[in-house]
């Protein structure tokens, strides 16, 4: 595991680097914003720790620039700035965690391990299956660039199918995910909603994306008809 630490206080960075080396992490230290950004763009790191008040370039700006090229590397902000506004600002810029100084090394270590356990995270809010596109943030759905209006249940069903594209989902899985546990309505509810979705998503298109897998359930995929 290789970690980049961008920190201008030599005492802090050597303390962290020594502690992490003892935990068998490989640590590169950058003492200012520009060299930190340079290293982040050059090497593959499993995690980046970033101070905010840095010479040359503010940590938040370094973070923004890292995110334009690398959306998946976990970034932990390590700073004396403890205002809620700073935290929000940096999480919005793409941070994954935020720890304020002074901190206990033991806490830093468990946070690092938790981030590494999670691994690279997909940050794109858009899922695609062929020319069908769903944006989880705006909750907009488009096929071939044309907007499709869905009810909230239709949207939830499509989102579930698209998040698991090419995977066959049983009716039970769909009910448990899209409806809640108290659902005890008609048993063919899934088929009814899939039919509605097909009308809106597949009708008028040569390629049918929503597929029935006989005796099992449904899937959405760009593959051949099953
Ligand atoms: Ca600093």
Q: What is the pLDDT of residues 8-35, one digit of tens each?
A: 999 999 999 999 999 999 999 999 999 9
Is 140 inside any structural domain?
yes
Say how many Å lie between the CA of residue 6 and the centre of ligand 1. Answer: 9
Q: Give, as residue ranges, everything with CB less than 5 Å from ion ligand 1.
A: 8, 51, 53
Q: pLDDT at position 184, please?
A: 67
> Do residues 25 and 77 both lie within one domain?
yes
How much is the pTM?
Answer: 0.63
| Parallel, antiparallel or unpaired: strands 47-50 and 2-6 | parallel
Domain membership flag for residue 111 = yes
Are residue 35 and residue 78 in the same domain, yes or no? yes
Is the pLDDT at 85 greater than 60, yes or no? yes
Q: What is the pLDDT of residues 44-83, one digit of tens each?
A: 899 999 999 999 999 999 999 999 887 789 999 999 999 9
pLDDT in tens, 140-183: 999 999 999 999 899 999 999 998 888 999 998 898 888 866 66
Q: Determine the pLDDT at residue 183.
A: 67
Do 104 and 18 reside in the same domain of the chain?
yes
Contact 3, 20 (CB under 8 A): yes
CA of 30 to the centre of ligand 1 (A): 11
Q: How far is the CA of 148 from the centre of ligand 1 (A)?
A: 49
What's the rounded Cα separation, in Å, for the pair 56 and 67?
18
Give 81 Cα–ligand 1 centroid separation in angstroms: 10
Question: Residue 207 has what pLDDT?
Answer: 92
Distance between Cα 14 and ligand 1 center (Å): 14
Of the candidates 177, 171, 179, the residue with the CA atom closest to the CA atom of residue 216: 171
Q: Please count the structural domains in the chain.
A: 2
Both 12 and 113 in one domain: the answer is yes
Of 41, 37, 72, the C-alpha closest to 56 is: 37
- Of 174, 145, 181, 144, whose CA–CA distance to 159 is shortest? 174
Q: Are residues 157 and 216 in the same domain?
A: yes
Q: What is the pLDDT of residues 96-122, one digit of tens each?
A: 999 999 999 999 999 999 999 886 666
- The confidence score (pLDDT) of residue 226 equals 43
* Residue that terminates a domain, selected from 93, 118, 143: 118
């Amino acid at each position: 595991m290789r970690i980049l630490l961008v920190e201008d206080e030599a005492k802090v960075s050597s303390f962290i680097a020594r502690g992490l080396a003892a935990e068998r992490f490989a640590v590169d230290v950058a003492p200012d914003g520009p060299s930190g950004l340079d290293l982040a763009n050059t090497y593959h790191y499993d995690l980046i720790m970033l101070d905010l008040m840095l010479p040359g370039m503010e940590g938040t700006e370094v973070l923004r620039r890292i995110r334009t090229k690398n959306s998946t590397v976990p970034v932990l902000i390590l700073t004396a700035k403890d205002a809620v506004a700073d935290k929000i600002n940096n999480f919005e810029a793409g941070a994954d965690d935020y720890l304020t100084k002074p901190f206990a090394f033991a806490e830093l270590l468990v946070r690092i391990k938790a981030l590494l356990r999670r691994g690279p995270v997909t940050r794109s809010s858009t899922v695609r299956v062929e020319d069908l596109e769903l944006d989880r943030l705006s909750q907009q759905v488009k096929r071939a660039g044309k907007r499709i209006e869905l009810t909230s249940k239709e949207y939830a069903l499509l989102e579930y199918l698209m998040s698991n594209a090419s995977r066959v989902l049983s009716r039970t899985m769909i009910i448990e995910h899209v409806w809640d546990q108290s659902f005890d309505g008609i048993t063919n509810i899934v088929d009814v909603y899939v039919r509605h979705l097909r009308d809106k998503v597949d009708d008028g298109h040569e390629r049918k994306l929503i597929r029935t897998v006989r005796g099992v359930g449904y899937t959405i995929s760009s593959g051949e008809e099953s």
